[in-house]
Structures are given as C-alpha cells and as structure tokens.
Amino acid sequence: MISRTRWQTLVAVALVVGVVTWLLMHAMYDRGATLPEVSWLVGGVELVIAAVVFVMGWHVRQYLRGKRPSLDPIRAARTAVLAKAACYTGALLVGWYGGQLTVRLTQLGDVANTGQRAWAAALAALGAVAMLVVGLVVEAFCRIPPAEPDAEKRPSTPTHS
C-alpha cells in the first residue's frame, strides 16, 4: 500500500531545490555564464499533465462512489502512483523554476529581457504548483474507504487462561 504524501515533505523538497537552484544560478551569473532560459510552453505542458492526472483520478473517484460500473484495478493503482509522481515532480519543478525566478528578479535592472524571462519562470512555477496540488487531490481520490464499521465492532472471541 502506498502511503499518502505529506504536504510538508513537498514543501521541504521545493525549498531545498529552490535554494540549490538559486545558489547554482547565482554562481553561474557571477562567473558571467549564460543562464538557461525557460520556455513559455513549460507552464502549459505542466497544466496539460495536471489535467490528464486529474481526469484519470476522476475516473477512480467515480468508480469508488459507485457512479462508474467497472475499473481495472491495475489502472487504479497506476493512477495512484501517477498522482504521487505528480506531487514530487511538481515540488521539484516549483523549486527549480522558483529558484530561477528569484535569480531573474535580482537581475531586473542588469540584463536585457529579464522581465520576460522572469514571467516565463513564474508561469512555469505556477504550472508546477498546479501539478503538485492536482497530485495531492488525485491521491485523495484514490483512497479506498475504510472497512465497514460493523466489522470493527464485532467482539473478539475471548481467550481462556
């Protein structure tokens, strides 16, 4: 059974990756290296991935609520794993693009076109946040309801000593 992802872990991952990215990019900038550019498409691709994960999770949710007649158990398990992957990938990308955004914001007056590059990094970071949140939501969709309460209340057979 896959344990539920804790949001605190995801925040820690995003912060660590963000700080490492900022340090790396800042060191590159100080040495005169060209910083990598963020494409405007990144945010859109992240949103498409988040939408696919959400739709897959919605199918599992509908099945668990009795509104869908059948669902392959392997597909449901894969959806749960995909949701977890979306959580961690989103956290990593939030850190990566967030770190790049902070470096770009410190360069606003120094480098030409930095404003556009900062907006592209911000869009990518927001897309990553969407992927992270959708991953957490779909993980919740894939949770199997607890066993019947009557089964838990049944008295156990007494042992004689």
Model pLDDT for residues 28-72, shown as the tens digit of each residue: 888 888 888 899 999 999 999 999 999 999 999 999 888 888 888
User: Measured between alpha carbons, how far is 110 from 126 in angstroms, rounded to an integer?
Assistant: 25
CA distance between the termini of the chain: 36
Alpha helices in 31-148 (DSSP H): 41-64, 73-106, 114-141
Q: What is the DSSP letter of 71?
A: -
Q: Which has more confidence, 150 or 130? A: 130
Give the other-Cβ count within 10 Å of 17's Cβ. Answer: 19
Sorting pLDDT into bands at 50, 70 and 90, what band is 12? very high
The closest alpha carbon to 13, from 82, 85, 102, 103, belongs to 85
Q: Which has more confidence, 29 or 94? A: 94
Sorting pLDDT into bands at 50, 70 and 90, what band is 23? very high
Q: pTM of the full predicted structure?
A: 0.81
Helix (H), strand (E) at residue 70: none
Q: At which residue do the structure tokens 């970071």 appear? A: 125
User: Measured between alpha carbons, how far is 93 from 125 in angstroms, rounded to an integer?
Assistant: 7
Residue % of the chain over a pLDDT of 70: 85
Sorting pLDDT into bands at 50, 70 and 90, what band is 88? very high
Residue % of the chain over a pLDDT of 90: 57
User: Measured between alpha carbons, how far is 136 from 8 in angstroms, rounded to an integer?
Assistant: 12
Helix, strand or coil, per DSSP, at residue 67: coil
